[in-house]
A and B are shown apart, each in its own frame.
Chain A
Amino acid sequence: MFELKEVYKSFISEGGQVEAVSNVCLRIDKGEIFGIIGSSGAGKSTLIRCLNLLEKPEKGKVIFKGHDLLSLSKKQMRHERKKIGMVFQNFNLLASRTVFENVAFPIGTKTKSEVKEKVLALLEIVGISDKVNNYPNQLSGGQKQRVAIARALANDPHVLLCDEATSALDPQTTASILSLLKELNEKLNLTIILITHEMSVIKSICHRVAIMDKGKIIEVDTVINIFTNPKKPLTKSFIQESFNHKEIRNLIDKNKLFKENSHLYEFIYKQESASKALIATLIKKYQLEINIIAGKIEIISGESIGHLVIIIEGEDKSVKSALRFLSSQGVLVKEFEENE
């Protein structure tokens, strides 16, 4: 669907030159939900805006369905943009137009009744048919984003770009918008590219994810692999944010749980390894004392992922062989580190 080759974009600011997107290469396939996660200022927005040339890369290629967008004329580019829908963090609805008029806005050469049919069908899909004649300021954030999504779909795009589409919404509304996106992906086979700073968003709907830092993509993989086998420290810190490590540390110190021959570990494992009663094996076979400090199981891309923070007590030798056993069972074992 999209292929980025060595895309580069910098800005001149007071502090000098900022390399917002630095030689990014990326391939996004048809039909997938692709997430890009990074901290604020990592260059996510700039990168996603390079996809429809809202931001023009200084170097590199942006290939959309086989065409290099940078080589198109203005008119051809406008035509291509109609196939690339985009939604924004703050919705960007036209305040002077009703919901109907907003969704009808991008629709080009069609008769009045065709437009009406199309708009009503779109509003049905995004689930706000009852607000046709309302103005944007009469809607909640979630409803506004639904209108924005309907508008972005008005020209039957092949791909939908979402720039922090849920970041202005509360958790419940976020969940409902994400499930709408997922539905669109499944029903319409719509390719979706979304950027976010929240791992929970990636976790709930993305198939693949890229981690972005200081203008560079540092890791790309399926979400399940990223969660079970993250490689870069930043990736780890993103997936660890579901546990508050500082609080866990405080808990351990407060209750004096940590003894001389204690080892503190974090285990991340897929369901298949979980079902093999890992903990029981550790206790029985390796004669270890196990103290579970924190734990949870999450469903990611349809697979359940376990996450435990554990204190292991026992002889160094048996601890080592226990850890080896765990690795052989596909459990990711990490020393517990505090992240800020």
Chain B
Amino acid sequence: MNNLEKLFPNVMDLKVIIFTETLATIKMVVIAGAIAFLIGLVLAIGLVLFRKKGLFPNKLLFQLIDSLVNVFRAVPFVILLVAIFPLTRLLVGTTLGLAGSIVPLVFATAPFFARQIESALLDVEDGLIEAAISMGCSNFEIVYRVYLREAIPGLIRAITITLISLLSLTTMVGAIAGGGIGDLALMYGLRRNMLDITYITVIIILAMVYLIQFSAVLALKKLNKGEKKNEKVVN
């Protein structure tokens, strides 16, 4: 105990703050992740259906979604964050705190999610889609009974990668909107020169990354019965 206190002198004093900020980060990841997933999913399904060889080819809609996704992915996060301040304020009434963080995080993550989900959906073999058409399935059935179902392992990988990247974005958003683990590292680790706080934030982040990957591995393993062996979680 004594040694621990020597190594981490400030951690014990600030444990309540550390706890609440960790919780804040988790909230950001979960809420922004869930909203971004839903938006990304819709965009990805659009990309897959509207593409030239899709079930519902539509050049205009495809290009609209495609360029939307590209633009939002191209803008560096910090700039995006600032650029959409007015929109953030309009949507949630503030640019600070949890609510203020969620909006830019969603904007940055949804396009990333869309690309990841798109690639998971495109991994579903065309032959399966054709088989489903030949069995008289409607487009709607094909999306939810074939594309989404067969892409589940790919979707889990997409979620893993995206959540980890979202986690790192939350630290940046913390610096501007306030809150979360990134904020903690800046406020105490950097400004007050509490080195041990910086270290503890690193440990917490690593633990979260590990937790995300571990859950993904577990989920994939559970599914693995039906899938080829040696599926790896990409990071």
A residues whose Cβ falls under 8 Å from a Cβ of B: 52, 54, 78-82, 84-86, 88, 90, 92, 94-98, 105-106, 135-137, 151-152, 154-155, 161
Task: State which residues 188-235 of B face A: CB under 8 Å.
Answer: 223, 225-228
> Are B149 and A92 in contact, with the CB atoms below 8 A?
no
Q: Is the interface of A mostly helix, strand, loop or mixed?
A: loop
Contact A54 B138 (CB under 8 A): no
Apart from A92-B128, A94-B150, A135-B227: 10 A-B pairs, beta carbons within 8 A: A79-B136, A81-B136, A82-B136, A88-B131, A94-B128, A95-B227, A96-B226, A105-B145, A106-B135, A152-B135
Known: A54-B130, A92-B128, A135-B226. A82 touches B135 (CB 8 A): yes
Q: State how many angstroms separate the Cβ of A258 from the closest Cβ of chain B.
A: 51
Instruction: Give complex CA distance A65, B134 in Å.
Output: 17
Q: Complex: how many Å from CA A135 to CA B225?
A: 7
* Cβ distance B131 to chain A, nearest Cβ, rounded Å: 4
Q: Which 8 A-B pairs rank lowest in CB-CB distance, beginning with the nearest? A: A81-B136, A106-B135, A92-B131, A135-B226, A86-B134, A92-B127, A82-B136, A78-B136
Q: Determine if B125 is an interface residue (Cβ-Cβ < 8 Å).
A: yes
Total number of residue pairs linking A and B with CB closer than 8 Å: 64
Instruction: For the complex formed, measure the closest distance between the CB of A13 and the CB atoms of chain B, giving whole angstroms.
Output: 14
- Residues of B near A105 (CB, < 8 A) are 135, 145
Residues of B within 8 A of A (CB): 125, 127-128, 130-131, 133-138, 145-146, 149-150, 152-153, 223, 225-228
What residues of B have a CB within 8 angstroms of the CB of A106 in the complex?
135-137
B136–A95 touching, CB < 8 Å: no
Minimum CB–CB distance from B70 to chain A (whole Å) comes to 27
Contacting residues, chain A, for B225 (C-beta < 8 A): 135
CB of B138 to closest CB in A, whole Å: 6
CA distance A68 to B225 in the complex (A): 44
